[in-house]
Structure 1
Amino acid sequence: MLAIDIDGLFNVRATRARAPWLVRSGAPEALTDAGAAALAELGVSVILDLREPSEHGPVRHGIPVRSVPLYGTEPPATGGLEAIYEHLLRERGDALARAVGVVAEADGAALVHCTAGKDRTGLVVALARRAAGATADEIVADYVLSAPHVRPIRAAHAELIAQGLPGADRAGVLRLHLESPPEAIAHALAVIDELGGAERYLRDHGLRDEQMTALRRKNGGAA
C-alpha cells in the first residue's frame, strides 16, 4: 500500500494513489475539512471504526461511519502482539468478518482505522487484502510501515503505561503500543492459514458470497 498525506490523519496508506478501494489510518478525530475533502476525492464513502465505544471522539466530518468494535471489551494495555492478534482471530472472528464486510460493501473506498492504525486495523486490512489476492509478503511489507508514524503520536501514552515497570515488561508495553514488527503480522497470517486461509476464515465467520465477490472485484488483481 502507498503512503499518502491527508490533513489531520496519521499513518495513512491506500491501495492505490487514485481511486483506491481501501485506505487505512490512525484515529480521525483531528481530520480537517481539507482532509475530509481529500478523502472524498479519493472516493472514500465510509469510515470503519474498529474501536470500542469508550474510545470514540467527536465526529466533525460528514463521512458516514460504521462502528465494529473489534475487542468487545477495553483494549489491552499490556501483552504480546502475537498473543493479542491470535486471540482476536480465534475469539473475535465474527467481528473481524463484519468489519471486512463493511469494506466489501463500500461504494468506492472504505477508510479503516482504530487508534494507532496498526493492530486492529492491521488485522482487518490483512484479512481483506489476503482474501482479495494480496500475498503474505505484500501484507507484511505494508504492516511494518506503521511504526515510524505511530511512535511520535503514541509515545507519551505508551511511556505512561510503561512507567515504573521492570525492563522486560516495559519493553513489552512499548512494543505493543509503538511497534509493528514483521514477526507479529507473520504470526497472525500463520494462524489464518492454520484456520483454512483468509477466504475460508471469513466465510466461516459470516462473510457472504456476494461480499467476497465484491471484495475481489474491488481489488481487481492489484494489491
Structure 2
Amino acid sequence: MTRWIDLEGVVNMRDMGGLPTTHGRATQSGRLIRSDNLQDLTPASVTHLVDTLGVTDVVDLRSTLEHRITGEGPLRATSLTHHHHSLVVESDDDARTVDEALALRFEPDGSRGRPKPVRDADFWGRHYTGYVTRRPDSVGAALAAISRSPGGTIVHCAAGKDRTGTVVGMALSVAGVPDDAIVEDYVLSAERIERIIDRLIDVEPYRYSLPSHTIDEQRPKAESMAAVLTHLRDAHGGAEAWLRERGWREDDVARLRSRLLD
C-alpha cells in the first residue's frame, strides 16, 4: 500500500496509516498526515483534503518568522482548525524588520566568519533532540492537537521531514509503532528530497540558507531519527513517559493512541 498523497501544491505528503504496532494492530488511514508546506495547495487539492480525506485540523510547526513572510495559506479560508506550535526558540523577531530577522535566523552556512557545520546524520539527530529539549511546550501541544482532532490531522513544517518527522515520530511511538517502522517512514522523504529542495530554494525565507546546503546534507538518514527515539527512551523511558513527565494523564495518552489506532 502506498502512503503517498499526490496533490498539486505539495511534494512530500503521506498518510501514516497501515504501520504495524506492538499491539498487533495497524495505524488507521486518514488519522495522521504529514506534509511539507501547504501554501501552494490548489482549490482542487483543498477540496480533496477536506471533503474526501476528512481533514479537520492542521498543526503548523513553522516559526513565527516563516508565518510573517509567507502569510496565510489556502486552508485558512476553510473551516479547519489551525494550531501553530513553532519548534524553534522564538526571539524578538517581531521587533526587527523582516530583513534583519532573516539575516539572523536564515543566514547561510559559514557566514559572519563562523565555520560551516557538518550537516551529517549526527547533526540532524542533535537538531531533532533539540526540538524536544528546547520546545517541549510546542511538541506537547502539537501531540495534544492530534489527540483531540475529530477527523484527520495534517502535521507540517516547510520540508515536512525534520520538525514534522520529530512530532510524527513521537505520535507513532505512543501508538506503539516500533522504532524501525518509524525510522523507515522518516527516510521515505529521501525519495523526494530533490523535489522538496526545488520547491523551497527560491522561496522566502528559505532562499537565504538553502543554496549553501548540498542535497546530501538535507537527505534524511535513518540514524538521525533513531537518535531522537533513543534519546527519548534513554533519558525519559520513551515518548509516552516523556508526555507523562509533562503532566499527561493516562486518559490523555490513551486518547492519542486511540486516535491513531481505532
TM-score of Structure 1 vs Structure 2, range by shorter chain: 0.7 to 0.9
User: For structure 1, which segment, 21-30 or 200-209, has the greater mean C-alpha deviation from structure 2 after superposition?
Assistant: 200-209
Distance 1:75 1:192 in 2: 28
* Alignment partner of 1:140 out of 177, 180, 183: 183
1:89-115 Cα deviation digits (max 9, x unpaired) = 222222211111111111111100000
Deviates more, 1:26-35 or 1:206-215: 206-215
* Aligned residue in 2 for 1:8: 9
Q: What is residue 26 of structure 1 aligned with on the other side?
A: 36
Q: What is the percent sequence identity of the aligned residues?
A: 30
d(CA) in 2 for partners of 1:22 and 1:31? 18
The residue number in structure 2 matching 1:193 is: 233
Partner residue in 1 for 2:209: 161
| 2: CA distance, partners of 1:42 / 1:77 | 38
Runs of 5+ unmatched residues, structure 2: 19-27, 91-104, 110-116, 118-122
1:55 is the counterpart of 2:66? yes
Letter in 2 for 1:119: D
Per mean C-alpha deviation after superposition, the further-off stretch among 12-21 and 35-44 is 12-21
**TM-score by structure 2 length?**
0.73
Q: Which of 32, 37, 53 is the matching residue for 1:42?
A: 53
> Where has structure 1 moved over 6 Å in runs of 4 or more?
none
CA contact (8 A) 2:46 2:74 kept: no
Between stretches 13-22 and 25-34, larger displacement belongs to 13-22
Distance 2:210 2:58 in 1: 31
Q: What one-letter code is carried by the residue in structure 1 that aligns with 2:17?
A: R
Report the AA paired with residue 11 of structure 1. Answer: N
Counterparts of 1:117-132 in structure 2, within 5 Å, are 117-132=160-175
Structure 1: gaps spanning 5 or more residues: none
Report if the CA contact (8 A) 2:156-2:164 is conserved.
Answer: yes
Report the Cα distance in structure 1 between the residues aligned to 2:174 and 2:133, rounded to whole angstroms: 17
CA RMSD of aligned residues (A): 2.5
Pair 1:209–1:88, CA change in 2 (3 A): same
TM-score by length of 1: 0.85
Partners of 2:249 and 2:143 in 1: CA distance:
11
How big is the shift at 1:159? 8.5
Kindly name which structure, 1 or 2, has the bigger radius of gyration based on alpha carbons: 2
Total equivalences in the alignment: 213
